[in-house]
Amino acid sequence: MRWLLAGIILLAFLSPFAFGLTDLDEGFYASVAREMFSRNDWLTPTLGNSPWFEKPPLLYWLMSLSMQLFGASEFAVRLPSLLASMFTIILIVSWGGRRFGRAAGDLAGIIFALAPLAMLLGRLAITDMLLTLWLTLAVIALWETHQRAIWFIVGGIATGLAVLTKGPVGLGFIGLLYLINAKSLHQQGLRFRWVLLALIVALCVPIPWFAGVYMQHGRDFFEEFILKQNLARFAGGDTAHSVLSIAKGGGLLGILGAGIAYLLFYVVVFWLGLFPFSTSANALWQRDSDPLYRYLRSWCLLVFLFFTLGLTKLPAYIFPMFPFAALLIARYLTSRSEAAQRAPLTRWQWASLFVGSCLWLCVALFLGFSARQPTAILFGMGLIGAAMAYLSMHLRGGVQTKPAMRALAICAFGVVLGLHFSLRAYDRLFLQPVRDLARSVPPYRTLIVHKVSPGYPSLYFYRQSQVVLDDNPDNVMSLMREKGSYCLTGDSGFVSRPQMIEVGRSQTLNRVYSLIVSRYN
């Protein structure tokens, strides 16, 4: 199985070259990192030369270092996520193999590596894969500390790096995990003084940056980062991703839709994000007296329930539960008796496999035919094949059989290559037309982005921050006349004004964008 994992990891390094930066988050993070790299300012993240406190700086630092080595490219900014994905797989395989047996560890690595959400996040320049690596290491370290005290240092450093990646949520999760399992952990031999020392180490890692940026920016940093980006976001303050926006229209349907989204959003994310192995999710609520099983299950449920309660919903939020969900599912599949493995699946499992396969195939067909990229269909076909391999594991003797592994290997390469081409298709449909239009502007001219949704913050990266966002038409016209700026707009009424000359046009799947200059230049 390890040769299959090695092949999946190697193929992953093809994807960063396949498509341009996506928007919104990847465009923001890559642009902030490029400004940090250009300005050589390692303390204050900026976007458009204005302070940007949405996230702590660890990902920006790693991207900047990567750009110093490989230049300012998509590969450079995505390399930290790729490496984090690789090291997370290594952690799952090595630690899971030691605790649950080599077969379970290897299968867990394959399940995680083939999970659609893991494959996507491992190829994007965003914080979630890096955060998952640190939290996975911290969860392992908290369990292992009773074996060797040195683990408290590893756990403290990993927790501190999680805070430096995405904020206090990293420390909060590990603290809650300890409180939930304190009795069991101390019965295993954990000492409270080790927990306190780990906490001190965890705080020492991010405090220098937090203190430095607070001394420089004071209240602005506190209000933006702590109040708005952490507390208000959990309470639904991020209106773009809040379930409250669904209910804004009022009426029974709006309220019902918001309620369904609130309760079932992460059920769907988990089911599709770990498909087809999510159909064995019953591995997460078995009756089992094994303390390690109960410990890992509590972590998965903690992450899942915490974000289910939050009003802001993004698919990647529950991703830190995926490594250990994959490990528990692999343990379940490899530990079943031969008779049980050959038992028929439940109706729910059959229905889940069928509906999930159809949904992913529809996505692949849409991308393939809309962007004239038929190889994108490999993604959907590969996932259907993975579902069939999953059935083979259940019905024909388990995961160790050669037919099951052969089928899984074929499907794995289909899924990985299919995702590669699907991302290219998505880029061709939605991103490349706007990016090419923006790149056609002379480098010595400023580009004004006017009423372009979702804003394409990646243009900051490609235009080296020579970008201004402004939805006020009077301001835009003034800048165009005074500075000879170009304007990229999706507003056809603004383009048709007599003062404007259209010098370029491009079309995505659903919108037409124009590049215009002022007639008075």
| Residue 176 located in a structural domain | no
Name residue 223's amino acid. Answer: E
- Residue 401 and residue 500 in one domain: no
| Residue 292 located in a structural domain | no
Asked if the model's pLDDT at residue 427 lies above 90, the reply is no
Tell me the average pLDDT across 202-230: 80
Of all residues in the chain, the percent with pLDDT exceeding 70 is 83
Could you say which of 93, 114, 135 is where a domain stops?
114
Could you say which of 432, 465, 484 is where a domain stops?
432
Entry pTM: 0.88
Could you say which of 432, 464, 494 is where a domain stops?
432
Q: Token pair for residue 475?
A: 């301001």
| Residue 324 located in a structural domain | no
- Residues near 378 by Cβ (< 8 Å), separated by ≥ 6? 364, 414, 415, 417, 418, 421
Q: Give the Cα separation of 204 and 198 in Å (integer).
A: 10
> Poorest-confidence range of 182-186, 238-242, 259-263, 403-407?
238-242
Q: Give the Cα separation of 282 and 457 in Å (integer).
A: 41
Tell me the average pLDDT across 477-505: 86
- Residue 79 and residue 41 in one domain: yes
Is residue 382 within 8 Å of 411, Cβ to Cβ?
yes
| Residue 340 located in a structural domain | no
- Residue 407 and residue 388 in one domain: yes
How does residue 51 score in pLDDT terms, banded at 50, 70 and 90?
confident
Tell me the average pLDDT across 11-25: 74
Q: Token pair for residue 296?
A: 């890992």
Tell me the average pLDDT across 420-440: 84
Domain assignment of residue 466, given as a range? 440-518
Tell me the average pLDDT across 427-434: 85
Average pLDDT, the chain: 81
Residues 67-77 pLDDT 10s:
999 888 888 99
| Residue 60 located in a structural domain | yes
- Residue 7 and residue 110 in one domain: yes
Tell me the average pLDDT across 375-396: 67
> Among 100, 164, 128, which Cα is nearest to 322's?
128
Tell me the average pLDDT across 118-146: 92
- Residue 422 and residue 465 in one domain: no
Residue 168 pairs in a beta bridge with none
Predicted pLDDT at 424: 81
- Residue 420 and residue 446 in one domain: no
- Residue 79 and residue 21 in one domain: yes
16: exposed, middle or buried (Cβ count in 10 Å: 0-12, 13-18, 19+): buried
Q: Give the Cα separation of 330 and 325 in Å (integer).
A: 8
| Residue 495 located in a structural domain | yes
Predicted pLDDT at 249: 54
Please write down the HEC assignment for all residues of 129-197: HHHHHHHHHHHHHHHHCCCCCCHHHHHHHHHHHHHHHHCCHHHHHHHHHHHHHHHHHHHCCCCHHHHHH
Asked if the model's pLDDT at residue 350 lies above 80, the reply is no
- Residue 485 and residue 377 in one domain: no
| Residue 317 located in a structural domain | no
Of all residues in the chain, the percent with pLDDT exceeding 90 is 21
Residues 269-328 pLDDT 10s:
998 888 888 888 888 888 777 889 999 999 999 999 988 887 777 888 999 999 999 999
Predicted pLDDT at 315: 85
CATH number for the domain including 482?
3.40.190.10
Helix (H, G, I), strand (E, B) or coil at 520: coil
Work out how many domains the chain is built from and give that number. 3
- Residue 36 and residue 106 in one domain: yes
- Residue 10 and residue 103 in one domain: yes
- Residue 40 and residue 2 in one domain: yes
74-105 burial code (b ≥16 CB/10 A, e <16): bbbbbbbbbbbbbebbebbbebbbebbeebbb
Tell me the average pLDDT across 369-385: 74
- Residue 365 and residue 462 in one domain: no
| Residue 204 located in a structural domain | no
Of 228 and 233, more confident: 228
